[in-house]
């Protein structure tokens, strides 16, 4: 799959030309990480090879995403679905240009494999996640804008991207995640120890802005978190708990950001713990630091260093000094020309 770029390509090329950073000359929008390199079917291709269906309302959206036949489903305009949008296997769900959005009800990828969600705005999903990935593999969440507001406490909305029921081989890239509380949780049950060793998730080049907690928070898995830009992540960004292994490199933290990384098992009071207002205690997680991070004024609390020291695939690290500029330019909707996805 190849992307031609419009808005951002020019800007990125200009940034690259002005500063000639190494590694940007052959910059690619293609999938990187676990949704590309995995032992359960290989590179995610979504609906490639199937027909393209354009939808403007919920009934046609639901029909187009049902079943496991390959389909590319393009959303034009804003849709307020009557129920959660369920995505079957072998689908690409793509917002058109700057217009495709879904609000009030979110999107669930459940019991599925090979799904791409791209260039879509999903906002203000009350009492549930913007995107839930449940019991699914090979999922690529790329170039979306996911948001609500911070005025209603942690539990009025739920997550922006929650990955549950042992879902595996997921890449979350170039998303603009902003103005929300509980951002991205991987593994939502501390008692589900049978999930240990699943949840291979790559998070790269996401723009996390004005968020509360879970940037991401994970249990039981392997999370490769690189080249993300965090700005005003108020309470706690990366939380590796319940034996989770995180490899954290080349990320930049700015603004009013409290804690960049913690492996301490405590689910902090700001993160809606279930059993005590003082927080819930779980086992600690692990973290390894690869290529240098820029923590800004945020704190780091690594209690256990793990064994996940190297990602098992090839990927391109953006030099630290270009991360903020690049991610702000490239993350979110309207940045890749989805009409020329091959």
Ligand X SMILES: *[C@@H]1O[C@H](CO)[C@@H](O)[C@H](O)[C@H]1NC(C)=O
> What is the closest distance, in whole angstroms, from the C-beta atom of residue 171 to ligand X in the complex?
18
Contacts to ligand X from residues 279-308, by CB under 6 A: 299, 301
Q: How far apart are CA 91 and CA 70, in angstroms?
A: 6
Of positions 54, 98, 99, 111, contacts ligand X by CB under 6 A:
111
Smallest gap, in angstroms, from Cβ of residue 150 to ligand X? 21
Q: Which stretch binds ligand X (CB under 6 A): 82-90, 178-186, 197-205, 315-323?
A: 82-90
Shortest approach of ligand X to residue 189 CB, angstroms? 11
Burial class (CB in 10 A: 0-12, 13-18, 19+), 281: middle
Sign of CA dihedral 302, 304, 308, 310: positive
Show the site string, 47-76: x = touches ligand X by CB under 6 A, - = not.
Answer: ---------------------xxx------
200 belongs to the binding site for ligand X (CB under 6 A):
no
Closest distance between ligand X and the C-beta of residue 319, in Å? Answer: 29
**Full 3-state SS string of 43-102:** CCCCCCCCCEEEECCHHHHHHHHCCCCCEEEEECCEECCCCCEEECCCEEEEECCCCCEE
Exactly one of 71, 138, 214, 241 is catalytic; which is it? 214
Q: Is residue 89 within the footprint of ligand X (CB under 6 A)?
A: yes
Asked if 296 and 314 touch (Cβ cutoff 8 Å), the reply is no
Tell whether residue 189 is a contact of ligand X (CB under 6 A): no
Could you report how far apart the first and last alpha carbons of the chain are, in Å?
A: 5
Q: DSSP code of 290?
A: -
Asked about 214 being catalytic, the answer comes back as yes
- Tell me the closest approach of the beta carbon of residue 21 to ligand X, in angstroms: 33
Tell which one of 143, 165, 180, 205 touches ligand X (CB under 6 A).
Answer: 165
Give the chain's radius of gyration (CA, Å). 18
Best CA proximity match to 85, nearest among 104, 107, 56 = 107
Task: Output 1 or 110, the one with its CB closest to ligand X.
Answer: 110
86 forms part of the interface with ligand X (CB under 6 A): yes
- Selected from 53, 62, 76, 110, the binder of ligand X by CB under 6 A is 110
Single out the residue of 249, 251, 243 nearest to residue 222, CA to CA: 243
Task: Please say which residue, 44 or 327, places its beta carbon nearer to ligand X.
Answer: 44
Nearer to ligand X, 264 or 335 (CB): 264
Distance between CA atoms of residues 217 and 169, nearest Å: 17
Whether 34 contacts 200, CB under 8 Å: yes
Identify whether the C-beta of residue 208 lies closer than 8 Å to the C-beta of residue 231: yes
Could you say whether residue 266 binds ligand X (CB under 6 A)?
yes
Q: Choose between 142 and 271: whose C-beta lies nearer to ligand X.
A: 271
Residue 304 CA to residue 45 CA, distance in Å, equals 36
Q: Which stretch binds ligand X (CB under 6 A): 225-233, 259-267, 285-293, 327-335?
A: 259-267
Between 117 and 323, name the residue whose CB sits nearer to ligand X: 117
Q: Give the residue with the Cβ less far from ligand X, 12 or 266.
A: 266
* Residue 314 CB partners (closer than 8 Å, separation 6+): 37
Report the catalytic residues.
214
Q: Using CB under 6 A as the criterion, which residues of the chain lie in contact with ligand X when the complex forms?
A: 68-70, 86, 89-90, 108, 110-111, 113, 135, 165, 262, 264, 266, 268, 299, 301
């Amino acid at each position: 799959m190849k992307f031609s770029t419009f808005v951002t390509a020019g800007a990125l090329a200009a940034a690259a030309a002005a500063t000639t950073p190494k590694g940007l000359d052959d910059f690619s929008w293609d999938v990187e990480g676990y949704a590309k390199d995995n032992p359960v079917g290989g590179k995610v291709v979504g609906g490639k090879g199937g027909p393209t269906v354009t939808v403007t309302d919920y009934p046609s959206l639901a029909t187009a995403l049902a079943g496991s036949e390959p389909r590319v489903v393009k959303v034009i305009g804003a849709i307020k679905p009557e129920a959660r949008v369920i995505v079957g296997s072998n689908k690409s769900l793509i917002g058109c240009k700057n217009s495709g959005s879904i609000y009030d009800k979110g999107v669930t990828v459940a019991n599925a494999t090979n799904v791409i969600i791209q260039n879509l705005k999903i906002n203000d999903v009350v009492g549930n996640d913007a995107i839930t990935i449940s019991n699914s593999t090979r999922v690529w969440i790329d170039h979306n804008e996911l948001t609500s507001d911070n005025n209603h406490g942690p539990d009025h909305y739920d997550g922006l991207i929650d990955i549950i029921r042992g879902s595996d081989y997921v890449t979350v890239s170039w998303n603009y995640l902003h103005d929300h509380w509980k951002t991205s949780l991987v593994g939502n049950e501390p008692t589900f120890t049978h999930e240990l060793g699943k949840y291979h998730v790559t998070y790269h080049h996401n723009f996390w802005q004005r968020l509360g907690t879970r940037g991401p928070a994970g249990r039981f898995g392997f999370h490769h978190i690189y080249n993300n830009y965090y700005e005003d992540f108020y309470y706690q960004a990366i939380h590796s708990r319940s034996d989770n292994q995180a490899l954290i490199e080349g990320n930049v933290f700015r603004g009013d950001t409290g804690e960049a990384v913690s492996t301490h098992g405590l689910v902090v009071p700001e993160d809606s713990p279930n059993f005590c207002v003082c927080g819930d205690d779980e086992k600690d997680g692990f973290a390894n630091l690869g290529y240098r991070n820029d923590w800004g004024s945020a704190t780091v609390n690594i209690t256990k260093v793990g064994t996940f020291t190297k990602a098992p695939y090839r990927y391109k690290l953006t030099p630290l000094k270009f991360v903020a500029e690049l991610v702000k330019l490239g993350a979110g909707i309207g940045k890749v020309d989805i009409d020329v996805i091959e």
